[in-house]
Amino acid sequence: MKLASLDSVQNAHDDSIWTAAWVRSTEESPALLLTGGLDETARLWDPSNFTCVQTFTGHCLGVVSVATHPTRRIAASASLDSFIRVFEVDTNKTIATLEAPPSEVWQLQFSPNGNNLAAAGGDSSVKLWDTTQWQLVVTLSIPRQGASQPSDKGSNKKFVLSVAWSPDGRLH
């Protein structure tokens, strides 16, 4: 095991950092770090010299999850505003804006082959989008106890806060 010293960047975001994901390296480009913060931004960092390469905006509440596509070309950020912004890493061009109501999205994850984007939400579900057309494919929900009865905000509400894919991408 190799241990590395840790460094910090003062004021990396204007508020707390809630999420981070690596943008993989290619023969042409080094690995980069993508972070998201409560300051409503996602930021791309060069870890070799701790400099901010790009700041991505477009959310109106804090960014709580970021994910990078296996091709390195695109990334996604999710916010407490219930929107997912998919953008080109190099240009910051928005590719898609996905709505994930009725509640916030807590975590994003691209499938290993990049064909799908999974979003875990506080509304007891995982939503899957096809990444070719950015269409919602399916919503996987957790059944609620006593679902036949009207929903009570004070009731035993369940949340989905995390999502992961199996290495072959067949299970999530």
State yes or no: pLDDT of 128 exceeds 80. yes
Q: Which percentage of the chain shows pLDDT scores above 70? A: 84
What average pLDDT does this structure show over 100-104?
71
Integer CA distances (angstroms), 89 to 4, 86, 109, 139, 161, in order:
27, 9, 16, 27, 25
Instruction: Give the pLDDT confidence score for residue 5 in this predicted structure.
Output: 58
Amino acid 36 reads G
For the record, the structure tokens of 43 come out as 């930021």
Q: Which percentage of the chain shows pLDDT scores above 90? A: 42
State yes or no: pLDDT of 148 exceeds 60. no
Bond from prior residue into 143 cis (ω within 30 degrees of 0): no
What average pLDDT does this structure show over 84-103?
88
Q: Which of 170, 148, 147 is nearest to 157 (CA)?
A: 147
Q: Which of 2-16, 53-67, 84-98 has the lowest mean pLDDT?
A: 2-16
Instruction: Give the pLDDT confidence score for residue 144 in this predicted structure.
Output: 65
State yes or no: pLDDT of 136 exceeds 80. yes
Instruction: Give the pLDDT confidence score for residue 172 in this predicted structure.
Output: 59
95 pLDDT band, cuts 50/70/90, is very high
Integer CA distances (angstroms), 93 to 54, 74, 99, 157, in order:
12, 9, 18, 37
Q: 74: which DSSP letter?
A: E
More confident residue, 141 or 159: 141
